[in-house]
Amino acid sequence: MTTFPEPNAPYQYGSVAPYSSSQSRLESSESNIPYAVVAHDLVRTFGQKVAVNHLNLAVRQGEFFGFLGPNGAGKSTTIKMLVGLLRPTAGSALVAGVDVWKEPLRARALMGVLPEYLNLYERLSGREFITFAGHMYGVPDVDVRRRTEELLQVLDLANDADKLIVDYSVGMRKKVALAAAILHRPQVLFLDEPFEGIDPVSSRVIRDILRELTQRGTTIFFSSHIMEVVERLCTRVGIINQGVLVAEGTLQELRERASGDDKDATLEDIFLNVVGVQNGSHNLSWLE
Ligand SMILES: Nc1ncnc2c1ncn2[C@@H]1O[C@H](COP(=O)(O)OP(=O)(O)OP(=O)(O)O)[C@@H](O)[C@H]1O
């Protein structure tokens, strides 16, 4: 039996041992696996628009968590609040037991982030950028050099490693940003649409790297519109719609809740069901 909070129910701290510096992580009362990401009643408004509406979520260490939702649902806004890029209007966020907004530097050291819009140093080469990121995280120089070369190799960037990032393609930019996000072996990795603009070969390589990271204890929290990838990789999925977390669980749990008897329902079926999209209801009158 899981102890995850119900979607959008206020997160119960009573079910989680309080964090203390000596404990260095959150632990649930029923399981010894600590929570790696906790969103507690997160709210973000932009003027009148409520982009994220009292979102409660808890992801355990080592989970591969897929965060889904239609365009404009609030995925990126949530991720930005979780990683310290966008201050919540209300609520709090913990990463590896550290309050992201109270101890931002400590929290940032524990995470890797691939944001939606990549803000890269355009006048650095790919190799320089990855190396710079490693040094920023305090990784020893010898490890930075070895890991940078390996990452360039496996991500098929070696031949372009000395080219300036300004001349990189969309996919190359994403790969170099991913390399920079994982080089310091973060405890928690946040990826906003990591597979967008990525070719099938690199996509396979990235999937393998991400799987290996989770097998070695890294928690991955990622958003994607590519259902097959989410279905293949994720141990658990959350679906957000209009700022509200409308479903959350393993694929099996979501299938049972959203599709009833349909044991063969795909994640796409479940997603469309949960966000309330009807088949064939979007005809263009002027095409008739
Ligand atoms: N800086 C901002 N100023 C005003 N409104 C914003 C801002 N950022 C996001 N929003 C609004 O908040 C809502 C959620 O946006 P968000 O980018 O989080 O959605 P998303 O789920 O990531 O969408 P997509 O899948 O299209 O990337 C949208 O209505 C968007 O217009």
Closest ligand 1 atom to Cα of 74: 18
Per-residue pLDDT of the chain (288 residues; tens, 9 = 90+): 333 344 444 333 323 333 233 333 344 444 688 999 999 999 999 999 999 999 999 999 999 999 999 999 999 999 999 999 999 999 999 999 999 999 999 999 999 999 988 889 999 999 999 999 999 999 999 999 999 999 999 999 999 999 999 999 988 999 999 999 999 999 999 999 988 888 898 888 889 999 999 999 999 999 999 899 999 999 999 999 999 999 999 988 888 877 666 777 888 888 888 888 766 566 788 887
**Residue linked to tokens 């590519």:** 226
**Residue linked to tokens 């049972």:** 256
Say if ligand 1 is within 6 A of residue 34 CB.
no
Say if ligand 1 is within 6 A of residue 74 CB.
yes
> Which 3-state string (H, E, C) describes the chain?
CCCCCCCCCCCCHHHEECCCCCCCCEEECCCCCEEEEEEEEEEEEECCEEEEEEEEEEEECCCEEEEECCCCCCHHHHHHHHHCCCCCCEEEEEECCEECCCCHHHHHHHEEEECCCCCCCCCCEHHHHHHHHHHHCCCCHHHHHHHHHHHHHHCCCHHHCCCEHHHCCHHHHHHHHHHHHHCCCCCEEEEECCCCCCCHHHHHHHHHHHHHHHHCCCEEEEECCCHHHHHHHCCEEEEEECCEEEEEECHHHHHHHHHCCCCCCCHHHHHHHHCCCCCCCCCCHHHC
**Residue linked to tokens 């996000």:** 181
- Domain architecture of the chain: domains with CATH: 13-275 (3.40.50.300)
Q: Work out the end-to-end distance of the chain between its first and last CA atoms, rounded to an integer number of angstroms.
A: 52
**Residue linked to tokens 């991913």:** 178
Q: Which residues are bridge partners to 245 per DSSP? A: 240
Distance 243 CA to ligand 1 centre (A): 9
Write out the two tokens for 166. Answer: 């300004």
Distance 158 CA to ligand 1 centre (A): 35
Write out the two tokens for 61. Answer: 């260490």
| pTM (predicted TM-score) | 0.86
Choice from 76, 230, 242, 275 to test ligand 1 binding pocket (greatest atom count within 8 A of CB):
76
Has the ipTM of the complex gone over 0.85?
yes
Distance 20 CA to ligand 1 centre (A): 34
